Chains A and B, each alone.
Chain A
Amino acid sequence: MTSALAAAQAPVEPFLTLTDVRKTYPGVVALQGFSMNVRPGEVLGLVGENGAGKSTLMKILGGVVEPDAGTITVDGVEHRALSVASSMSAGIAFVHQELNLFDNLDVAANIFIGREPRTGGFLRLVDTQKQREMTAPLLARLGAGFKPSTPLADLSLAQRQMVEIAKALSMNARLVILDEPTSSLPLSETAKLLDVIAALKADGIAVILISHRLHEIEEAADRVIVLRDGTRVGTLEKGEIDHDRMVKLMIGRDLKAQTAAPAQARGPVAFRATGVRTSTYPDKAVDLDLHKGEILGVAGLVGSGRTELARAMFGVDPVLGGTFEVEGAPYAPRQASQAVARGVFLVPEDRKAAGLLLDLQISQNISLPDLPRHSHNFIVVKRKEHATAEAQRRNLDIRAPAVTTLAGTLSGGNQQKVVLGKWLAMKPRIMIFDEPTRGIDVGTKSEIYRLMRRLADDGVAVMMISSDMEEVIGVSDRIAVMHEGSISGILGRDQFSEENIMRLAIGKTLTQGEAE
């Protein structure tokens, strides 16, 4: 195996070496004397909490930020700093979480956008044929199962990432940096991406993999560098890479009982869905009970109708049939305001688009659903807003200079806390979380888990949609698994296992033991 060769005594020169790189922003040291290297054909895992310095590091490699000190050696050439152009020409390619692709073009056109082969003389038409011929070998290298002529709109998220990677290959990338590539991928697709990483590696391309999903790092990385507070706090070689060790290095302490959920007695039914049908699967009905004091995990593949169910419960998606009840009383929200009035709150999947207003202050975000309580004669009273926001800031430990800070300047985890604070300030009865910890660092994740538990203990009915197996298993009291628009099974604690969830998620039944 190439990686084994590369790792053994390393006769291979590193493709990229950073030596004593420093970058300070006033008041903050983003990187302090950071050194690392990555060799061709090596998969380097890079982990750290938000604010550990990963972004700054990426910006330096991309040529966007100039380091204060240190050197960057690429392919044997030493640089003081990279420019965007020199980074690209050196063969450093980024695949970001948010993909820069065009839905309305085919795969080949996406790969060669802005660099299209030309034909037709002075007319300079796009040579579509040649473009596709040039794309085919790139896709073959990655083992992609789609064609150059496939419209991008037909591809899954993982396949789109492959297109991005193929684009990097087309530019002769020598180092591919994958930034949170799996955070929005469903379970079944994550495996595909790991195959692609293996393919890159086999081609002798260096890979830096940044992820919060530590078990993927465990699986894919040859070596892991852990960053904390701008310094390298540890390097784990292939054999030493394991989840707990990484977490310990990342947060500088043991993360105890992160996912320990006490099996406790459930309360009465708080929310009931009977025969509910939503727009994605108009023929399938959902029946589900949600009890006071429990955390009900909802697992399933992306597109299985989980998000639509949550949105219907919150009144933002239409309900095509069936009924809801809240604490025994009929409940038919036609808009979110009606859900809010009944104490049914949603922490949505897409934090930046739907969860909060990035251009508003923390306090304005928190008071938004409940302005009448923060006003006098229809005039908003800042003092009341600030009081509520301060209370939630303390309650949730939102790390921000002040409650007047704009929400958009916060880290992902703190933004999520603001979304939570907005609802906690209003006495929730039913809290629905949709992918609550996506893109959030490990430390904040466990805070959110603890908070969910606290809510459940206070008698709130909590429903948590998640594609993260560890999370579903670790946090839930019961797990409902959805498959193509209906509940394919409900697991009690004693039945929790990745295998059981997976089987139900792909529509099979449990072999041993029965679903509840």
Chain B
Amino acid sequence: MTKKDLGLLVLIIVVGAIVALINPRFLLPINLANTANLVGMFGLSALGQAFVIVTGGIELSVGSVIALTGVLFVDLVANQDVAWPIAVLLMLVLGAVIGLAHGLLITKLKMQPFVVTLCGLLIYRGFARFYTGDSTAGFGFGQSFPTLEFLAAGRSFGVPNSFIALIIIGAIMWVVMHRSIFGRHLYAVGKNEEAARYSGIKTDAVIIAAYVICQVLTVVASIYFAMYTRSIAPSAHGNFYELYAIAAAVLGGFSLRGGEGSIVGALLGVVLLQELQNLVNLLGIPSSLNFAVMGSVILIGVLADQQFSSYRQRAAAAKGRAPAAAEQPAAG
């Protein structure tokens, strides 16, 4: 855990303590479980976003992909009688194909990630709405899939299974990003793609893989969202979810320039955002202020982090660092 992560954790605990003081019902197991469930779902999509952001890219189509795969999944399972494991598999493949397409456009055709994924945002939303003819895709009344519902919306020992999934997948992704060869390559590409290429890294392959991972994780999140709402209005479902994911990653220390950030931080970012949503309802703050609260906390969080680290740097500089550093810039 980095100092940054620790700071975020302290913030989460402090905010939680204040909320609990004002309204002790915050700590009710049912409330914690409800919030953990949302953390699980948004966390999965934030994990995906983190992989793209660390390469210096961005994936804006997340919300639309959640809508598209959501309506497809629900339709396949509820109306087309496709066995749910097959539907899940199909959606994961679709996610991988979308990620692959984005990655190829970005690396091979040298398009900017922002442009590619912004177009994706529009395209997949359009497909989702066209597929359902602008109507809601939902499970019929009383339609039931016990295993799927248990895995997606159930609880084990009071802990939502979506949260357990996040912990397991998050742990795997932590190893992938922070310990594996691929993770090192990701950071290298994010820091300096040119230098990474000159070190013999297949930078294009690394970037493509990041987008594929992002979309596959997005699809996993999408299935959890679908099973949570059980009905999906393709024009509204998942709107802005890419921004929640980006916000969580940024809050967790990821730099949009790439090459920086920690998985733990991004997940703590998700926890903080969901805690804020919960707080708005529990403290009876008008729900209109929801976004304003979220935006302010992200802004203050990132600002505080920057100020703190530049303060630390100045303090270190005042104490004096390595002589090489003092002599470095002009190459004199």
Contact = CB atoms under 8 A, between A and B. Distances in A.
Contacts of B175: 379
B141 interface: no
A41 to B, nearest CB: 24
Nearest to B182: A378
Given A25-B326, A378-B181, A379-B179, A97 B331 contact: yes
Nearest to A351: B195
Contacts, number: 139
Nearest to B260: A359
Interface stretch (B120-128, B281-289, B317-325): B317-325
Contacts of B330: 54-55, 58-59, 96-97, 179
Contacts of A365: 199
A129 B200 CA distance: 51
A29 to B, nearest CB: 9
A198 to B, nearest CB: 24
Contacts of A180: 331
A379 B180 contact: yes
A21 interface: no
B326 A380 contact: no
A368 B197 contact: no
A26 B327 CA distance: 13
A357 B188 contact: yes
B194 interface: yes
B199 A409 contact: no
Given A337-B201, A346-B198, A380-B184, A411 B259 contact: no
Given A359-B191, A364-B184, A411 B327 contact: yes
A57 interface: yes
B329 A354 contact: no
A336 B198 contact: yes
A54 B332 contact: yes
- Residue of B323, B326, B330 with most partner-chain A CB within 10 A: B330
Interface in B159-214: 175, 179-185, 187-188, 191-192, 194-202, 204
B328 interface: yes
Nearest to B325: A409
A28 to B, nearest CB: 4
A335 B200 CA distance: 8
A339 interface: yes
B201 A368 contact: yes
Nearest to B203: A335
A369 B200 contact: yes
A87 to B, nearest CB: 15
A164 B328 CA distance: 22
A353 B194 contact: yes
Interface in B207-246: none
A300 to B, nearest CB: 22
Between B183, B320, B331, the greatest number of chain A beta carbons within 10 A of the residue's beta carbon is seen for: B331
A360 B188 contact: yes
A348 B324 contact: no
Contact of A27 (B179, B184, B192, B323): B323
* Residue among B175, B182, B322 with the highest chain A CB neighbour number at 10 A: B322
A404 interface: no
Nearest to A375: B181
B324 A410 contact: yes
A439 interface: yes
B199 A368 contact: yes
Given A357-B195, A371-B185, A378-B182, A55 B332 contact: yes
Nearest to A409: B325
Contacts of A378: 180-182
B323 A25 contact: yes
Contacts of A375: 180-181
Contacts of A54: 330, 332
Nearest to B176: A378
Given A346-B198, A439-B331, A28 B326 contact: yes
15 contacts: A26-B320, A28-B320, A30-B323, A48-B332, A51-B327, A53-B332, A55-B328, A55-B329, A335-B204, A336-B199, A357-B199, A359-B191, A378-B181, A401-B322, A409-B324
Given A354-B195, A411-B328, 4 more contacts: A179-B330, A356-B199, A357-B195, A405-B322
Interface of A: 25-28, 30, 48, 50-59, 96-97, 179-180, 210, 314, 316, 335-337, 339-341, 346, 348, 353-360, 364-365, 368-369, 371-372, 375, 378-380, 399-401, 405, 409-412, 414, 422, 439
List the 5 shortest-distance A-B pairs measured between CB atoms, nearest first.
Answer: A54-B332, A26-B320, A340-B200, A28-B323, A55-B332
Interface of B: 175, 179-185, 187-188, 191-192, 194-202, 204, 259, 319-332
